């Protein structure tokens, strides 16, 4: 996985490689490639690894220095992600805070909110969960019914959220609430609140997934409280804040997952050769398709990054947003195909319970956990609507 991005950053690239070589050892070497945004395997070891990254200054690279970041350029952030994937370092556990909430606070938060939360995020001292979806409000977030009302210096919150990633590990939740029940416009009267978990009015219940993990949770709010200064953006103006957060989730935040898929394809090819599956021309064709798919993803990522890095690229925002929507749809469907292929290659071994992190176990997890990828972060149906209407200009 040698990517020639920003050749002028060769020295920075070598710094990253040396640091990873020096630190990805011992217990951390044993969890290379382990975990994903939907897999909480080896949680404690991954949490310790993330603290190692924080101590080394490798979290929140692009954040301002006064909040614990490096003030790194986008090109430097991209180089880091590629080198991180190349080293097969374990999946990071603080994605919700690092890739989604943090940038949202930098853009929309108050100085006090940034000073209070950002340094603790990069130090991995506080974990965050997202409180957006509800049992009756998934893709249609404007219909959320969780309510928050003012009571003196506090907001009082009542309602339910679901599919909160790593919610049972969270110290705080960022919650989309309806703060103006009299608003006649669904997208109005919504606010994004920062809510502490450790209080009587919050109950978090883990949800066991197909693969036996508990990366999702449902959260109940019954008179939960947070102070009135814990609103991100304007009171009643939470919709544009949430849309910006979701844009990050469907765009740049997907890059680590897409890069790890390159490694999974190589591992699948290795397993196919080892088990003799390449003798089957149908398997060979599917392996070829998977190899082509990840290189298409790489090329598209590079094009998006080039647009964003190149100051002479014109106005790349709309083009990059469109490419991100297409890439989210393509990556999720291709990852499901890869999971099916990896399990087929394992044959009978794929039907049996296997040792953790064994090739058969990895294939099973990929197959099972990828089922949700065409749902979370924007369903495949919604992504197709975005592409058809906003990219191709087709009627609704």
Which are the catalytic amino acids? 249
Q: How many CA atoms lie within 13 A of 149 on its CB side?
A: 8
Alpha carbon 386 to chain centroid, angstroms: 20
- DSSP state at residue 310: -
With vertex at residue 129, the alpha carbon angle to CA 304 and CA 214, rounded to the nearest 5 degrees, is 100
Please report which helix (H) or strand (E) contains residue 156, including its range.
Answer: strand 154-161
CA distances from 353 to 32, 44, 211, 349, 361 (A): 21, 23, 11, 8, 7
Residue found under tokens 């220095």:
65
- CA separation, residue 154 to residues 142, 171, 227 (Å): 24, 19, 4
For residue 392, give every residue at least 6 positions away whose Cβ sits within 8 Å of its Cβ, in sequence order, or none: none
Q: For residue 63, which of 37, 26, 102, 91 has the smallest C-alpha distance?
A: 102
Q: How many residues does the chain have?
A: 396
CB distance 92 to 31 below 8 Å? no
Comparing CA positions, the residue from 281, 289, 274 lying closest to residue 337 is: 289
Any bridge partners for residue 193, and if so which? 175, 231
Task: For the chain, give the longest Cα–Cα distance.
Answer: 71
Side-chain-side CA neighbours of 214 within 13 Å: the count stands at 12
Q: Judge contact between 380 and 329, C-beta under 8 A.
A: yes
The tokens describing 106, both together, are 């930098």
């Amino acid at each position: 996985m040698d990517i020639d991005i920003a050749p002028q950053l060769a020295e920075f690239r070598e710094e990253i490689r040396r640091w990873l070589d020096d630190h990805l050892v011992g217990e951390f070497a044993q969890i290379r490639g382990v975990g994903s945004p939907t897999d909480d395997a080896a949680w404690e070891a991954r949490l310790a690894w993330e603290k190692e990254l924080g101590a080394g200054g490798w979290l929140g690279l692009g954040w301002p220095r006064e909040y614990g970041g490096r003030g790194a350029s986008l090109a430097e952030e991209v180089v880091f992600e590629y080198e991180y994937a190349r080293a097969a370092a374990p999946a990071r556990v603080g994605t919700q805070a690092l890739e989604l909430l943090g940038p949202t606070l930098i853009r929309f938060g108050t100085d006090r909110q940034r000073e209070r939360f950002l340094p603790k995020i990069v130090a991995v001292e506080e974990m965050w969960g997202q409180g957006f979806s509800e049992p009756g409000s998934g893709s249609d977030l404007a219909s959320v019914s969780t309510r928050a009302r003012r009571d003196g210096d506090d907001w009082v919150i009542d309602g339910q959220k679901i599919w909160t990633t790593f919610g049972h590990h969270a110290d705080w939740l960022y919650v989309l609430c309806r703060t103006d029940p009299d608003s006649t416009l669904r997208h109005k009267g919504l606010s994004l609140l920062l809510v502490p978990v450790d209080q009587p009015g919050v109950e978090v219940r883990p949800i066991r997934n197909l693969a036996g993990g508990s990366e999702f949770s449902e959260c109940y709010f019954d008179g939960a409280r947070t102070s009135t200064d814990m609103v991100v953006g304007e009171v009643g103006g939470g919709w544009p804040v949430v849309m910006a957060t979701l844009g990050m989730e469907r765009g740049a935040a997907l890059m680590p997952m897409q890069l790890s898929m390159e490694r999974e394809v190589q591992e699948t090819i290795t397993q196919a050769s080892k088990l003799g599956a390449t003798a089957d021309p149908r398997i060979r064709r599917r392996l070829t398709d998977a190899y082509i798919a990840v290189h298409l993803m790489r090329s598209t990522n590079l094009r998006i990054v080039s647009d964003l890095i190149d100051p002479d690229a014109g106005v790349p925002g709309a083009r990059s947003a469109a490419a991100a929507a297409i890439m989210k749809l393509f990556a999720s469907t291709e990852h499901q195909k890869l999971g099916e292929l990896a399990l087929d290659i394992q044959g009978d071994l794929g039907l049996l319970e296997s040792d953790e992190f064994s090739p058969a176990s990895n294939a099973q997890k990929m197959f099972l956990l990828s089922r949700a990828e065409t749902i979370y972060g924007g369903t495949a149906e919604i992504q197709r609507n975005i592409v058809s209407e906003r990219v191709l200009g087709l009627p609704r």
